[in-house]
Amino acid sequence: MSGTAVNVPVSRADAARVAAWLEDFARLSEPGSSEGVTRLAYTALERKAHDVFAGAMREFGCTVWTDQAGNTIAERQGREAGLPALATGSHLDTVPHAGRFDGIAGVVAAMETARIYSENGIRHAHPMRFVAFAAEEGARFGQACTGSRIVSGLTRPDDLYGKRDADGVSLAEAMRSIGLDPSAVAEARWSPDEWAAFVELHVEQGAVLESSGVPVGVVDLISGSTRMLLKVTGRASHTGGTPMHLRADALAAAAEIVLLIESIAGDFRHRGTRATVGRLDAAPGSITTIPGQVRLYVDIRDVDSDRQRATAGEIIARAETLCARRGVRLSSRLLADTSPAVLPAWLREVVAGTCAELDVPHRIMPSGASHDAQMINNVIPSGMIFVPSRDGISHSPEEWSSVDDLATGIDVLAASLLALDRLLLDSPELA
């Protein structure tokens, strides 16, 4: 497999153009969001970003459409009729106060790949599809990868009504507000008859590549994620009138739970587990009132599915004991649960072989974060290309990746898709 010849495009990625597109998308941020970029899922701003993508892809001769999940798909016709499409892409929504690279780098990589093919008259047998997924971030509704989950058949119409944002707006309502029909999302489902393979370029969101001086990572494994809501209920009371020994302080118990979670994930038995309380809401929120209720939003990541779920169970069991000792009550609710994904070795070998042909150093590595490719891998073979993240920072205004590194990753992506095109023409059974 690694001996597959690589058809290197006649021109390489244009770093200046990549930087300009990143800047265009970074400008599409909520008013008053002075730090970083805020462009939440299923909002008008997210749709504006998709419009920018669609406009560019039409300029490159692609046919463009939006499915009922809100994903924007651009197709460049292949030279042979009836073949399933090869695809690349990522997402355009962000977490609050994000950087400009998470997801967007992969969409820009798709745009630049389409430009290279178009301007150089590169022909391929399979259709090439370039995808901007909707709602990958779980920041608004608590569920990650909604657009790619829908096309993979992992999220159904009924699932869209139970997940709500902080304002009580359901996923279904948010989708309707931007012109989508949540009852019709099954129409967006991908079929292996129409799609052959998918490769996503993404910033690493960690420091492995930068610290090792390697420009490209080829992903073999993507961590699973379990997300929970823990609700601690105590007794709201006056801060001055209630002695310390008579309190049922929900926030004090929640603070101890945060440290408990850190301790569990740091234990040697959970080596490789990452557990985080990313959001904590205390009520009633008055400086003169002992908090009566606290909500903790917990995120657990692991490449081992058994350990991932065992960690969640241990957190709940030990938090219940802690709350009983403090005289408060604990309830829990599962928000989302995704298993780790092992990406196909044969596809990984194609990408690694392309790196070798282009003389680009690379390393095989896992991903600690969830990605659209993780969902798509349930339907068609999927791969991932990582480029370095400065200091390993992501989900922050300080998130940064060099456009030169991005250009190198795009070179690998563009050539890998062409290598897959030829390989699957000769060996369609792989897909």
Q: Which fold has domain 224-338?
A: Alpha-Beta Plaits (3.30.70)
In this prediction the pTM is 0.88
Q: Which two tokens stand for residue 406?
A: 């991005």
Strand segments (E) across 205-358: 216-222, 224-233, 237-238, 274-283, 289-290, 293-302, 329-338, 341-342
Strand order in the sheet with 274-283: 274-283, 293-302, 224-233, 329-338
- Residue 8's pLDDT is 60
Residue predicted with more confidence, 131 or 303: 131
- Residue 6's pLDDT is 55
Please state which of the ranges 52-61, 106-115, 267-276, 381-390 shows the lowest mean pLDDT: 267-276
The percent of residues above 70 in pLDDT, for the chain, comes to 97
Average pLDDT, the chain: 94
In the chain, where does the domain assigned CATH 3.30.70.360 lie?
224-338
Would the pLDDT of 165 be above 60?
A: yes
Would the pLDDT of 2 be above 50?
A: no
Statement: 15-223+340-430 belongs to CATH 3.30.930.10: no
- Residue 9's pLDDT is 63
Would the pLDDT of 5 be above 80?
A: no
Q: Which residue's structure tokens are 């917990």?
A: 298
395 labeled binding residue: yes
- Residue 207's pLDDT is 94
102 labeled binding residue: yes
* Nearest of 255, 329, 259, 334 to residue 292 by alpha carbon: 329
Interatomic CA distance for residues 111 and 64, integer angstroms: 13
**In this predicted model, what pLDDT tens digit does every residue of 131-141 receive, in sequence order?**
999 999 989 99
In the chain, where does the domain assigned CATH 3.40.630.10 lie?
15-223+340-430
The percent of residues above 90 in pLDDT, for the chain, comes to 89
> Which amino acid type is present at position 3?
G
Buried b / exposed e over 189-210, threshold 16 CB at 10 Å, is: ebeeeebbbbbbbbbbbbebbb
- Residue 32's pLDDT is 77
Would the pLDDT of 336 be above 90?
A: no
Would the pLDDT of 4 be above 70?
A: no
Would the pLDDT of 260 be above 50?
A: yes
Q: How many CB atoms lie within 10 A of CB 241?
A: 9
202 labeled binding residue: yes
Which residues have CB under 8 Å from 224's CB, separation 6+? 301, 302, 303, 305, 308, 337, 338, 339, 340, 341, 370
- Residue 10's pLDDT is 58
Q: What is the pLDDT confidence band of residue 40, given thresholds at 50, 70 and 90?
A: very high
371 labeled binding residue: no
